[in-house]
């Protein structure tokens, strides 16, 4: 260290002495070390431009910092709807599609530890889905001719409700390969006004719910080889499906709506920190 002597246990030091020692330590740590002969006890006058490397900073459309031993890529988009991303099956199909603002391409000069960190506000809006559990109905014969319809306490094969219908999936991919433990489901947000037996619920009104709106986070630590790598969050909307606002009445041709429609991505943040590894 550049400090050759230390106060003894219990000794008092003044603020000026402490500040001087801190300055020497900062100089020693921040400006790099080539060999011991580069330094003396005073820690001054032993540095030249070869010890200091100014990082290269790049702005839009690919904000990043390029240093000697690392690089950092970042994206940041606020909550403004005009800066949002819209995904729907009718536009992007059912393939995994990169989400703008959550992806980047990195060029590694050598093998590196890569830390991917992302956060985004995501939800579906515009579709409708079932809201209550579906009851199973059965017909029971009483006597020789009488038929009585009764409702059992057993639920049907499917139970519907909030966050039941999946609108899209999101996950982290690197060079087209899915990374484990990074998949997230995006659920529908609206519920429709009838049960499957055409019983009106919610007063016959579609209820707009925000319970399915989530701030999602995906983080991953990777070790990547030298070369070019595409890394980021991708989205795949579920195939479009229709639901009748009058229950399962097949004759109602005028009130069929999508179970899910628009998947929004707002408030997107991504940081990719790459630290080179010397073999």
- Residue 101 CA to residue 58 CA, distance in Å, equals 16
pTM for this predicted structure: 0.69
Would 39 be classed as within a structural domain? no
Q: Which residues contact 231 (CB under 8 A, 6 or more apart)?
A: 103, 104, 105, 106, 114, 116, 172, 173, 174, 175, 272
DSSP letters of 86-125?
EE-HHHHTTS-EEEEEEEEEEEESS-EEEEEEEEEEEEEE
Could you tell me how far CA 275 lies from the centroid of its own chain? 22
Separation of first and last alpha carbons in the chain = 27
Would 63 be classed as within a structural domain? no
Would 210 be classed as within a structural domain? yes
Structural domain span for residue 111? 78-132+160-276
Would 224 be classed as within a structural domain? yes
Under 8 Å between Cβ of 25 and 48: no
Q: Which of 17, 14, 19 is nearest to 5 (CA)?
A: 17
- Residue 151 CA to residue 136 CA, distance in Å, equals 7
Which residue in this structure is represented by tokens 């009851």?
135
Q: Which of 115, 113, 83, 120 is nearest to 234 (CA)?
A: 120
What string of pLDDT tens digits covers the 279 residues of the chain?
445 566 666 677 778 877 887 877 777 776 655 555 555 555 555 556 666 677 899 998 889 999 888 999 999 999 999 999 999 888 888 889 999 999 999 999 999 999 999 999 999 988 877 654 444 444 444 555 444 444 444 444 444 556 778 889 999 999 999 999 999 999 888 776 665 555 565 666 667 678 889 999 999 999 999 999 999 999 999 887 777 666 554 544 556 777 788 999 999 999 999 999 987
Handedness of CA 136, 200, 89, 85 (dihedral sign): negative
Would 28 be classed as within a structural domain? no
Under 8 Å between Cβ of 178 and 171: yes
CATH assignment at residue 185: 2.60.120
Provide the number of structural domains found in the chain.
Answer: 1
The dihedral region occupied by 278, where left means phi > 0, alpha psi between -120 and 50, and beta the remainder, is beta
Would 47 be classed as within a structural domain? no
Would 18 be classed as within a structural domain? no
Would 15 be classed as within a structural domain? no
Residue 241's pLDDT is what?
Answer: 78
Under 8 Å between Cβ of 56 and 72: no
């Amino acid at each position: 260290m550049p400090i050759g002597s230390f106060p003894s246990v219990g000794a008092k030091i003044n603020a000026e002495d402490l500040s001087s020692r801190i300055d020497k330590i900062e100089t020693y740590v921040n400006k790099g070390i080539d060999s011991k002969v580069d330094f003396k006890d005073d820690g001054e006058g032993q540095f030249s431009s070869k010890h200091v490397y100014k990082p290269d900073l790049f702005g839009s459309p690919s904000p990043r910092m390029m240093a000697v031993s690392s690089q950092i890529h970042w994206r940041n988009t606020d909550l403004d709807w005009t800066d949002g991303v819209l995904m729907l099956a009718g536009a992007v199909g059912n393939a995994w599609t990169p989400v703008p603002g959550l992806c980047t391409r990195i060029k590694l000069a050598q093998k590196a530890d890569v830390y991917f960190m992302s956060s985004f506000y995501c939800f579906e809006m515009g579709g409708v889905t079932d809201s209550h559990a579906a009851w199973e109905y059965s017909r029971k014969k009483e006597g020789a001719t009488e038929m009585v319809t009764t409702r059992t306490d057993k639920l049907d094969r499917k139970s519907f409700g909030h966050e039941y219908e999946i609108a899209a999936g999101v996950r982290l991919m690197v060079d087209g390969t899915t990374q484990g433990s990074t998949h997230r489901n995006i659920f529908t947000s609206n519920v429709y006004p009838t049960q499957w037996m055409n019983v009106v619920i919610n007063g016959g009104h579609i209820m707009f719910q925000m319970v399915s709106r989530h701030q999602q986070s995906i983080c991953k630590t990777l070790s990547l080889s030298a070369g070019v790598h595409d890394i980021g969050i991708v989205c795949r909307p579920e195939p479009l499906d229709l639901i009748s606002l009058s229950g399962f009445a097949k004759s109602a041709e005028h009130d069929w709506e999508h179970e899910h429609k628009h998947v929004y991505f707002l408030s997107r943040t991504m940081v990719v920190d790459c630290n080179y590894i010397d073999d």
